Amino acid sequence: MKSAEQPSVFASVVYTPPDVIFELTKKYLTDPAEQKVNLGQGTYRDENGSPWILPCVRAAKEKIRDVNHEYLPILGLTSFRTLAAELVLGRESTALIEKRVASCQALSGTGAIHMAGKILYNALGSQTPVYITNPTWSNHRQVFASIGFLVREYTYYSETAGCLNMETVTQALNEAPPGSIFIFHVSAHNPTGCDPTQEQWKDIATIVQDRGLFPIFDAAYLGMTSGVYDRDAYAIRYFVEELRLEVAVCASFAKNMGLYGERVGLASIITRSPQEATAVESAFEQLMRAEVSNPPAFGARVAAAVLEDGELRAEWARNLTKMSSRVEEMRWALFDGLKKLETPGSWDRIVKQGGMFCLLGLTPEQVVEISIAGLNWGNVQYVAECIDQTIRPHTL
């Protein structure tokens, strides 16, 4: 007779602490304080602190209101994949014309990174190191480590100067073994808000080419930095068009279309030949079938409706300008608030950095990073005063 005290099947499962960003949001929601501001989660908010439904998205949803709920093809909505690839690479992209692009609809940016990572793991093997910036988006390490890669970090940011540390970036590129994978944030680096200039991107690309490194572009915020999608996509197009390098691009429409919960993304791999692209696309299809069978349809249909309609696409361009401009406006409002309070320290980095995130240069005990998109005219002065009150006890 078997004992009733048999050990649990799950006894060896180790407790994993909750994700820090989502845990912070959970604490924010349950905090009873009347005056509170969520500066952690990377989501754009309107002047009332609510999610903003972009006018172009609202119109697109109306346009597709009567579509059916049939399954999509395994690789995703064909029109979305075509339009999104053209958006990222440019309509006149030689890679598209030469049919050297393999693509797959993915579960937003995270899913796109995972899919591209799986393809590269199968192609390059477990001994290939993946280099991520320090600091970086918290999920980068987790995604690649879960696939089986050895993940390494390199210094990206100068704490003292509050800007990109190009010296340590180029050092890492030059010292990495040939064939290594590097994760590049295309624009609005998360969480530093510091991006290479076009000339610095050219220097990075030259080293990547000379040393045979493989770049994965995390394209989560295109259009959110400058307000112009094409401008923010410069690095991708330089690597692909000017140098004709093989790259992976992981695009998301969560931020720049406000489709957070719809999980709309695209994984693209640019190869050297159309035959290789066909083979990679078949590998995408096999992975998608095994993991999710086929992707969700609604968000992809919304994104496609925006991109294929000239008027909606023009409206989207205006929406991007509005979002990026308001974020920039809030940067200056916070900077001015701290200057008026004569808060100890230098705050120039707030306006020198770009995009949704900002590193203030405070100690971990004070605060590490804030989401500028969480600020509005109703709370920015309060946030400045809170930062001031946090700083002063440490400087007296």
Residues designated catalytic: 137, 218, 255
Q: Find how far residue 197's CA is from the centre of its chain.
A: 18
User: Cα(285)–Cα(114) distance, rounded to whole angstroms?
Assistant: 14
How large is the angle between the packed helices 274-291 and 108-124, nearest 10 degrees? 120
Residue 185 CB neighbours (<10 A): 25
Q: Chain-centre distance of CA 202, in angstroms?
A: 21
CB 189 within 8 A of CB 324: no
Strands 157-158 and 150-155: unpaired
Which residues fall within 8 angstroms of residue 375, CB to CB, at 6 or more apart? 37, 39, 330, 333, 334, 383
The single-letter DSSP state of residue 45 is B
The residue written with tokens 């409206």 in the block is: 315
